[in-house]
Amino acid sequence: MPGKAADAKAGIPLAELLVSKITVSEGYEGLLEKAYGKVSGSTLELSFVEALYLLEKGRIRLQKNGKGVGFNKLLAAGLRLDTRLHERFIVYQDLRERGLTVKTGFKFGCDFRVYRRGVSGDKKGPKAAGEHTRWIVSVVPEDYTCSFHELSRAVRLAHSIRARMLWAIVDSENNVTYYEILRLRP
């Protein structure tokens, strides 16, 4: 007869850590409703930052080759693939805690696309004004320096997709400060 611990685990989706991604094969509907991951075939694929967040919140269980994987082991595995993962996780966590929907910004040359509360970010086809990306976010450490050209490119990109550009500065104490950069025309 299974114990209470087994019963509690039964409602939490089991994810599998592969080399460069995390997949959930079943029971992921609740995660999808909260705008986590992307469906590929019959599985839900999670990014490392999403999986770290969900693992920390107890919303998924994680394994690799049948053995349990904890937060620190997942972070270490992710850092081997992305040296900026820790900073990106801190910002992702902060944005999610604010109730915002956060998706990858890879195709826009930034770290994240952020939507208003209640917008999934997954809608295909024409979107209403409130369903578009609200911000694109670039995550940088506090000692980061950039050129005006880089700054200009980021702001122009955001403007071209009707979004605003945020720079998320992560300090040595894992605090995040956001700077919104706007394009002004005289």
pLDDT for the residue 106: 85
CA distance 62 to 12: 10
Q: What is the pLDDT of residues 102-144, one digit of tens each?
A: 999 988 889 999 998 766 555 555 555 556 789 999 999 999 9
CA distance 177 to 91: 9
pLDDT for the residue 8: 44
pLDDT for the residue 121: 57
Compare 94 and 156 and report the one with higher pLDDT.
94
Q: What is the pLDDT of residues 50-65, one digit of tens each?
A: 999 999 999 999 999 9
Most confidently predicted of 18-22, 69-73, 112-116, 149-153: 69-73
CATH 3.40.1350.10 for domain 85-181, yes or no, is: yes
pLDDT for the residue 122: 57
What is the helix (H) or strand (E) element at residue 152, kind and residue range? helix 148-160
For residues 70-85, average pLDDT: 96
Q: Helix 71-81 crosses helix 85-97 at what angle (to 10 degrees)?
A: 120
pLDDT for the residue 5: 37
Question: According to CATH, what is the number of the domain 4-81?
Answer: 3.40.1170.20
For residue 46, the tally of other CB atoms under 10 A from its CB is 26
For residues 150-166, average pLDDT: 86
| DSSP labels, 68-112 | E--HHHHHHHHHHH-TTHHHHHHHHHHHHHTT-EEEE-GGGTSSE
Q: Is 132 exposed, middle or buried (0-12, 13-18, 19+ CB in 10 A)?
A: middle
The alpha carbon dihedral of 80, 84, 85, 86 has a sign of positive
Residue 151 scores a pLDDT above 90: no
CA distance 136 to 141: 17
Q: Domain coordinates of the chain in residue numbers?
A: 4-81, 85-181
Residue 10 scores a pLDDT above 80: no
pLDDT for the residue 6: 38
Residue 7 scores a pLDDT above 50: no
Looking at every residue in the chain, the average pLDDT score rounds to 87
